[in-house]
Structure 1
Amino acid sequence: MKTNALIIFTRNPQLGKVKTRLAKTIGDEKALKVYTDLLAHTMNVTKRLTCDKFVFYDERIVNNDGWADNLFFKRKQSGVDLGARMQHAFEQLFEVGYQKCIIIGSDLFDLTAHHVQEAFQKLDNADVVLGPAEDGGYYLLGLKKVIPSVFINKHWGTSSVLTETQRDLENHQVECIETLNDIDTFEDLEKSKYYQKRQQLNGKV
């Protein structure tokens, strides 16, 4: 029986189309480098997890890339906004029999395998698990069934998303895991372990 599934939302790494807010400070080429490093980190963190893993690309499915075809199932996002795309991804996996599904993005150098494992464990006794982000959003959402209100009427990409989501979940048992820093701006980057490591190595991003 299918039990746990991890959904990983990614953007196809293209110059000028990823980390656009970060690029305003460091330029498109460096922003693309940061994003490809973020993807590599997310791959390394998730590849050994014992759940089934699904990479959902934003534009097109790519074979023979860093997401090994023998470790990750590959699908394409669909929907008019982020909420619709996330809901559709959850629906696909619940429909084929998964009992617990977690979605993450690919914006966190601070993410570890333990965060995902802890979220799956908390879903044993909770309806929903959230991984809050320092910017007021969330980097992880875990569900045992689709809760439609979670995916609508949100100001995606703003500091109100977590509060709006928690308001919609007042009648559900919700657990949270550690708050982490996801990287959208240069200020986010400066606070990340990645930036600190790069500064120690060569003083550059």
Structure 2
Amino acid sequence: MKQALITFIRNPELGKGKTRLAKDSSKEYALEIYIKLLEHTRKVCTQTDAERYVFYADYINAEDEWSTDDFQKRLQLDGGLGEKMKDAFSTVFSEGCDKAIIIGSDCPDISSELIENAFKELNSNDFVIGPSNDGGYYLLGMNTLFSPIFENKTWSAETVLEETVKDISNAGFSIKLLKPLTDVDHLEDVPQKWR
């Protein structure tokens, strides 16, 4: 059983990411917090037993902390988030993976234990989802590519989780929901230890 852990990251550059957090504070602070999120996410990934893929938003950085000893480096497809995620899942399944999980890089409470548990849930479920408190999800896992979950979604809306669950259920697949966690989008989402 070959399992893939896909991580989507933005290249950490001033003014490029965490725009809502930057509005609440400053571009410099938003970048500082995003770098902390990247460090946390990378550590969690390297503690997880899987084929590890990191998909960059803008360009592949060969010299950053995401070592090629630990990660296969790829570039996200151009287009919307749904197209990017569908392409990433398609890539890892075409490379022989039997299960795949995708995470973002903005959830400070994600852990390797949680991801390992999500992989275990895929032994008895077709899909696993980690809901985020804003109505989206911080983790999505599946055993086979099911394209409809990536289509006709408004990705920043609070209906994404609900619509995704409905797509999966209507198709007759089984699904396991993990505990809800918070993504860092606004100032109040930043963990106390990083303030």
Q: Provide the secondary structure at the position in 1 that maps to 2:74.
A: strand
Q: Which amino acid aligns with 1:188?
A: D
Q: 1:25 matched to which residue of 2?
A: 24
Q: 1:157 matched to which residue of 2?
A: 156
Distance 1:48 1:183 in 2: 22
Q: 2:193 matched to which residue of 1?
A: 197
Q: Provide the secondary structure at the position in 2 that maps to 1:169.
A: helix
Deviations 1:141-169 (A, max 9, x none): 00111111100001101211000101101
Distance 1:187 1:158 in 2: 19
Question: 1:6 deviation in Å?
Answer: 0.3
Q: 1:188 matched to which residue of 2?
A: 189
Q: 1:179 matched to which residue of 2?
A: 180
Check whether the contact 1:79–1:85 (CA below 8 A) recurs between aligned residues. yes
CA RMSD of aligned residues (A): 1.0
Are 1:95 and 2:117 counterparts? no
Question: 1:188 deviation in Å?
Answer: 2.2
Distance 1:176 1:125 in 2: 13
Check whether the contact 1:79–1:88 (CA below 8 A) recurs between aligned residues. no
Distance 2:115 2:80 in 1: 25
Q: How does 1:138-149 map to 2 (within 5 A)?
A: 138-149=137-148
Distance 2:192 2:185 in 1: 16
Check whether the contact 1:115–1:178 (CA below 8 A) recurs between aligned residues. no
Q: Which amino acid aligns with 1:3?
A: K
Q: How does 1:1-205 map to 2 (within 5 A)?
A: 3-170=2-169, 171-189=172-190, 195-198=191-194, 205=195
Deviations 1:100-126 (A, max 9, x none): 000000001111101100100000010
Distance 2:94 2:53 in 1: 14
TM-score w.r.t. the length of structure 2 is 0.96
Distance 1:16 1:7 in 2: 24
TM-score w.r.t. the length of structure 1 is 0.92
Q: Which amino acid aligns with 2:74?
A: R
Q: 1:202 matched to which residue of 2?
A: none
Question: 1:185 deviation in Å?
Answer: 1.4
Distance 1:50 1:187 in 2: 32
Q: Which runs of 4+ in 1 moved over 4 A?
A: none
Distance 1:109 1:139 in 2: 10
Figure out how many residues of one structure are paired with residues of the other and give that number: 193
Q: Provide the secondary structure at the position in 2 that maps to 1:110.
A: coil
Q: Which amino acid aligns with 1:131?
A: G
Q: Provide the secondary structure at the position in 2 that maps to 1:54.
A: strand
Check whether the contact 1:5–1:93 (CA below 8 A) recurs between aligned residues. yes
Question: 1:197 deviation in Å?
Answer: 1.6
Gaps of 5+ in 1: 190-194, 199-204
Structure 1 vs Structure 2: percent identity of aligned residues?
42
Gaps of 5+ in 2: none
Q: Mean Cα displacement is larger for which, 128-137 or 177-186?
A: 177-186
Question: 1:79 deviation in Å?
Answer: 3.4
